Amino acid sequence: MKALEDLGDLSGKRVLIRCDFNVPLDSDKNITDDGRIKAALPTLNALRDAGARVVVMAHLGRPKGEVNPKYSLAPVAARLGELLGAEVKLADDVVGDSAKAVVESLSDGDVALLENVRYEPAEESKDEAARQELADKYAAFGDIFISDGFGVVHRKQASVYDVAKKLPNAAGKLVAKEVGILKQLTESPERPYVVVLGGAKVADKLAVIDNLLKVADTLIIGGGMAFTFLKAQGHEIGASLLDETNLQTCLDYVEQAKAAGKKLLLPVDVRVAEGMDFDARTVTGDVDVVAASDIPAGKQGLDIGPETEKLYAEAIKGAKTVFWNGPMGVFEIEELSHGTAAVAQALTEVDGLSVVGGGDSAAAVRALGHADDAFGHISTGGGASLEFLEGKELPGLSALEENNS
């Protein structure tokens, strides 16, 4: 996989770059977290400084192959222009007349942004021929392809995978950094190495648990997924989330960790309530703290408790390498944010490498007021990070390795 520095003189060359600008917007189309845009700046600035003519591809939301103004990249173009201190020319379409005219108008050091690639039905198509045809149109806009959207490298999509096979290519600075850090987590972590996994569904994390149990010293489980582990050990979990199909698998992981001399930490206490309304950001009834082994019938575990916070924070702060993916509770509701806040704070105190694994975890640390530089690295790709740590081949990376002409 080539790096940006391996490409030689880029002056006057058209560089087609895939970024991940899938940022959250409020009801007025204001960007509420521009972390993914900022993450692309090192590569974009390097290309501009080299005199390249930069053509950016990106997506926003899920327009499902149809033009929908709700998912226009106009707010992204405006914010990117502010951050670059230069105009970003936004095409009205993806590969149509507007895109062609905008690309042709570029001078050395200029930046253009094509409209949302997911407006094109073939972008996410399972039909390889359809994707190839679209990728040919993308490739006509560039002399070189740069992959810098780490959040999409696990997708076999036209702007990620197929176009990389049609042009000389390289990884951008962001993708190179993400891959380097994730390789360190799987191949050569400094020890003690602690992995913290949360989120709602245990099924989403089974493969990563399976792989990381081999390399981590301590595995910490929180969030809704913890209750399947607790139930597997015979504890009462009330009305908490449960994945009955994976009870035995969770019990097997507990036994594997024990047999290998590793720690697998589960909540010792939890915050419970009768329920919650996520959209309204409210809890039904009072929030109580109870032992994790004895959650009352009708009550739902919605966050780890204060004793668990201390237990987890102590394990995290004693580590030299920490990877965290998934909140400890429903952090978007203030009463249920304490566990996630405690984990985030502990990561800022690690004397070593602390990695926040994208997705909800990245959103949580920013919502809690932490600066990005309080952590060793905040990944821009939750799904991509997890699939890499599972040991899967990521199409967007394999395409770079296959075609380095």
Q: Reduced to 3 states, what is the DSSP secondary structure of residue 300?
A: strand
Is 269 within 8 Å of 290 (Cβ atoms)?
yes
- Which residue positions form the known binding site? 20-22, 36, 59-62, 118, 155, 205, 301, 332, 358-361
How many C-beta atoms surround the C-beta of residue 22 within 10 A?
Answer: 21
**Strands of 111-113's sheet in order across:** 88-90, 111-113, 53-57, 14-18, 144-147, 169-171
Q: Is 165 exposed, middle or buried (0-12, 13-18, 19+ CB in 10 A)?
A: middle
- Which residue positions form the known binding site for substrate? 20-22, 36, 59-62, 118, 155
Active-site pick, 14, 18, 36, 53: 36
For residue 201, indicate whether it is catalytic.
yes
Is 16 within 8 Å of 139 (Cβ atoms)?
yes
CA distance 157 to 125: 7
Active-site pick, 359, 381, 382, 396: 359
Phi-psi region of 44 (alpha: psi -120 to 50; beta: other; left: phi over 0): alpha
For residue 383, indicate whether it is catalytic.
yes
- Which residue positions form the known binding site for (2R)-3-phosphoglycerate? 36, 118, 155
From the list 140, 199, 218, the residue with the least C-alpha distance to 328 is 199
With a CB cutoff of 8 Å and minimum separation 6, the contacts of 272 are 238, 240, 287, 288, 289, 290, 295, 296, 299, 300, 301, 302
Active-site pick, 2, 201, 263, 317: 201
From the list 352, 268, 348, the residue with the least C-alpha distance to 307 is 268
Q: Mind telling me the catalytic residues?
A: 36, 201, 359, 383
